A and B are shown apart, each in its own frame.
Chain A
Amino acid sequence: MKKLSARRRHPLAALVVLLFALVASGGLYAAFAPAEKAQADSSAQSLAIDEGKRLFAVGCSSCHGLNGQGSSMGPSLVGVGSAAVDFQVGTGRMPAQQPGAQVPRKKGIYSQAEIDQLAAFVASLGPGPVTPTQEQYTATETDAISKGGELFRTNCSQCHNFAGAGGALTQGKFAPSLENVDPKHIYEAMQTGPQNMPSFPDTTMPEKQKQEIVAFVRYQANEAPNPGGLSLGSLGPVTEGLFGWIFGLGVLIAVAIWVAAHTTKAKKS
């Protein structure tokens, strides 16, 4: 103790005491401070938004504006929600390759993690439809497919064709085929109404009905049998008529020629 008291007037004594105090208070704080889980989450969220903003500035801002406010090249993204971003970027429609009547589906260039970051940034611009979870777009009831078929015929078949094969619209626009479309993207399309498709919000078509439609579209694309054999693309009278004229009549003509060429009277000269 003598050593300690002998040096209490040393010029560095105050610094040593200060250090002790700092270590003690810091250590006590670390030991007793409440663990804040929520804070960790929101920092991850804000990290995603920051990262999304960076991706947005590189890939999207030339058309949609630096803050997603829109420009003459692309619409405002305020309020479109994360579901719209997940659909447009997830199906490769965005970033668009070129201007035109319709932006077609193509191979995506962003990973799902990057899409989520972009979606987080766009969702932060204004409230909008949220990317659905798997429970939201997966129907569990056994009669979902038949109910979905009825809803599909009422709401979707006029543009997308009775079997979801797609169809033409005005001036180069078209309703794409629903075959090989991810269930999540079908659900998001109904939620957000991409391009010229009208939206079917939960207020007029509740979540459960969207699930049923998704179930029907997947069944139609993957499992539905073709009672007549060849479906010919399920496009209706055009392909069926073409098949009948070319193959049906063609075979008959070929048989007629064969019969005529093989009578005993036919001479090869």
Chain B
Amino acid sequence: MSQDMSDDKLPQAHGAGEGHGEVAAADNPFADPGLPPHEPRRTDIDERAAKRAERQVSLLFIVSMLATVGFIASYVAIDPAKIVYIFPLGHISALNFALGMTLGVALFCIGAGAVHWARTLMSDVELPAERHPIEADDEVRADVIQQFKTGAGESGFGRRKMIRNTLIGSMALVPLSGVVLLRDLGPLPGTSLDTTAWKEATPTTPIRLINVNTNLPMKAEDIAVGSLTFAKPGPSALRPDGLQESDEDFQQVIAKSALMLIRIQPSDIKDAKSAALGFEGVLAYSKICTHVGCPISLYEQQTHHALCPCHQSTFDLSDGARVIFGPAGHPLPQLKITTDASGYLIATQDFDLPVGPSFWERNA
């Protein structure tokens, strides 16, 4: 120990005269043992150690500040596309690594500094606090109740029923304003979910089925048994160029109109209505799950089951897309298809049911 140590900083004898721990354990085995005597830390008695701890805490906080500056600097300076090799992690984004490391260091050093400060420099003398009942004494309670009664009597709340009832009514109605505000979130879908881009087709202006991969119309013989093809609506009266990915409303339109095309041996199709909607075994089903609208195209070509990856709803495409497992409430809508004079697959009407999940204004 150093000469900094002075007598008043040295540990003092605890216990005697403080109301704790003076009961001899021999007399009463369940006696309150009281607090153990306070033991000073090195930093309590050694001023140099305290200074060192102070510097350590400050250093941690300064490192945190530097790391924050580094975070901002790397956000500005590092190209998001830059990929670097860092040994245990492999090829990773330099920006992600820098942001994660600097933010992690900044937060860790604040926490470490605070803990170090608390452990070495803040007072660690135990302060016992007796627990008492938190209720007020009888006198105060009686007074408050009397005041409440006086107030209620003066307001006439119990006597004037009309005021009371209108107050209750107005309080009950206030939450409705919140509902009206929420109504602002958007118009209800209305009839916009009942129809898809296939709707515009009529027997005189049919819509061709366009292969999503090749952007070309398909013939029935292109669809092999056991194959899976995705289609989007082709040119129609309202959309002379067909649906293009560059269209402003592409996402809205394809979200309802996405189609999957499969082909099943006509003898294997169990549902006669489904077979009639298809063309020589080529069936066109909506790709949108009727549970919550996930794109569903996990098609098993031997069982003809289509599985939804979100909640495992399973549809039997050989049986009119009947739900055979999972939470979906109704079968996938099927599009009626046929071929035009040139042999290309066409749709001549919209889905008979709204595609996708149930909604308030759905009529089927």
Q: Which residues of A contact B (CB under 8 A)?
A: 151, 154-155, 158-159, 167, 169-170, 173, 175, 193, 195-201, 203-206, 209, 225-230, 259, 262-265
Q: Is B349 an interface residue (CB 8 A)?
A: no
- Cα distance A158–B86 in the bound complex, in angstroms: 32
Beta-carbon contact of A203 and B221 below 8 Å: yes
Chain A-chain B contacts (Cβ-Cβ < 8 Å), number: 105
Give chain A residues whose Cβ lies under 8 Å from the Cβ of B32: none
**A-B CB proximity, top 5 nearest:** A198-B228, A225-B91, A227-B93, A203-B222, A196-B300
Per-residue contact bits, chain B 48-67, to A (CB 8 Å; 1 contact, 0 not): 00000000000000000000
Residue from A195, A198, A209 in contact with B213 in the complex, judged by beta carbons closer than 8 Å: A209
Known contacts A170-B305, A196-B302, A228 near B223 by CB under 8 Å: no
Q: Is B90 an interface residue (CB 8 A)?
A: yes
- Cα distance A269–B102 in the bound complex, in angstroms: 40
- Cα distance A229–B96 in the bound complex, in angstroms: 8
- Cα distance A201–B227 in the bound complex, in angstroms: 7
Q: How far is the CB of B311 from chain A (nearest CB, A)?
A: 13
Q: How far is the CB of A115 from chain B (nearest CB, A)?
A: 23
- Cα distance A182–B297 in the bound complex, in angstroms: 25
Q: Is B167 an interface residue (CB 8 A)?
A: no
Give chain A residues whose Cβ lies under 8 Å from the Cβ of B296: 158
Known contacts A155-B230, A169-B298, A226 near B307 by CB under 8 Å: no
Residue from B86, B218, B314 in contact with A204 in the complex, judged by beta carbons closer than 8 Å: B218
- Cα distance A195–B124 in the bound complex, in angstroms: 71
Smallest Cβ-Cβ distance to A262: which chain B residue: B119
Q: How far is the CB of A246 from chain B (nearest CB, A)?
A: 18
- Cα distance A225–B218 in the bound complex, in angstroms: 37
Beta-carbon contact of B230 and A264 below 8 Å: no
Q: Is B246 an interface residue (CB 8 A)?
A: no
Q: How far is the CB of B120 from chain A (nearest CB, A)?
A: 9
Beta-carbon contact of A264 and B298 below 8 Å: no
Per-residue contact bits, chain B 105-149, to A (CB 8 Å; 1 contact, 0 not): 000000000010001000010000000000000000000000000
Smallest Cβ-Cβ distance to B41: which chain A residue: A264
Q: Is B195 an interface residue (CB 8 A)?
A: no
- Cα distance A200–B92 in the bound complex, in angstroms: 34
Q: How far is the CB of B122 from chain A (nearest CB, A)?
A: 11
Beta-carbon contact of A198 and B89 below 8 Å: no
- Cα distance A159–B297 in the bound complex, in angstroms: 8
Beta-carbon contact of B89 and A230 below 8 Å: yes
Known contacts A198-B262, A229-B97, A230-B89, A204 near B214 by CB under 8 Å: yes
Q: Is B358 an interface residue (CB 8 A)?
A: no
Q: Is B357 an interface residue (CB 8 A)?
A: no
Beta-carbon contact of A229 and B302 below 8 Å: no
Q: How far is the CB of B308 from chain A (nearest CB, A)?
A: 10
Give chain A residues whose Cβ lies under 8 Å from the Cβ of B303: 170, 196
Residue from B92, B223, B302 in contact with A227 in the complex, judged by beta carbons closer than 8 Å: B92
Beta-carbon contact of A199 and B39 below 8 Å: no
Beta-carbon contact of B227 and A204 below 8 Å: yes
Beta-carbon contact of A170 and B93 below 8 Å: no
Residue from B214, B298, B300 in contact with A209 in the complex, judged by beta carbons closer than 8 Å: B214
Q: How far is the CB of B218 from chain A (nearest CB, A)?
A: 7
Give chain A residues whose Cβ lies under 8 Å from the Cβ of B41: 264
Q: How far is the CB of B140 from chain A (nearest CB, A)?
A: 39
Q: Is B276 an interface residue (CB 8 A)?
A: no
Beta-carbon contact of A197 and B96 below 8 Å: no
Most buried by B among A167, A203, A204, A262: A204
Beta-carbon contact of B89 and A227 below 8 Å: no
Beta-carbon contact of B89 and A226 below 8 Å: yes
Q: Is B309 an interface residue (CB 8 A)?
A: yes
Beta-carbon contact of A225 and B301 below 8 Å: no
Known contacts A226-B89, A264-B119, A155 near B213 by CB under 8 Å: yes
- Cα distance A159–B83 in the bound complex, in angstroms: 29
Give chain A residues whose Cβ lies under 8 Å from the Cβ of B226: 193, 198-199
Give chain A residues whose Cβ lies under 8 Å from the Cβ of B93: 225, 227-228
10 contacts between A and B (CB under 8 A): A159-B298, A167-B309, A199-B227, A200-B229, A201-B227, A204-B227, A227-B96, A228-B96, A229-B89, A263-B119
Q: How far is the CB of A38 from chain B (nearest CB, A)?
A: 32
Residue from A173, A199, A206 in contact with B224 in the complex, judged by beta carbons closer than 8 Å: A199
Q: Which chain B residues numbered 286 to 302 have a C-beta less than 8 Å away from chain A?
A: 295-302
Beta-carbon contact of A170 and B300 below 8 Å: yes
- Cα distance A204–B218 in the bound complex, in angstroms: 8
Most buried by B among A151, A196, A259, A263: A196
Per-residue contact bits, chain B 204-228, to A (CB 8 Å; 1 contact, 0 not): 0000000111100010011110111
Smallest Cβ-Cβ distance to B231: which chain A residue: A204
Q: Is B325 an interface residue (CB 8 A)?
A: yes
Q: How far is the CB of A153 from chain B (nearest CB, A)?
A: 11
Q: How far is the CB of B36 from chain A (nearest CB, A)?
A: 8
Contacts A193-B227, A206-B214, A226-B90 known; list 7 others, CB within 8 Å.
A167-B298, A170-B325, A201-B227, A204-B211, A209-B213, A226-B92, A228-B96
Residue from B92, B222, B262, B325 in contact with A225 in the complex, judged by beta carbons closer than 8 Å: B92
Smallest Cβ-Cβ distance to A192: which chain B residue: B226
Q: How far is the CB of A96 from chain B (nearest CB, A)?
A: 14
Per-residue contact bits, chain B 309-322, to A (CB 8 Å; 1 contact, 0 not): 10010100000000
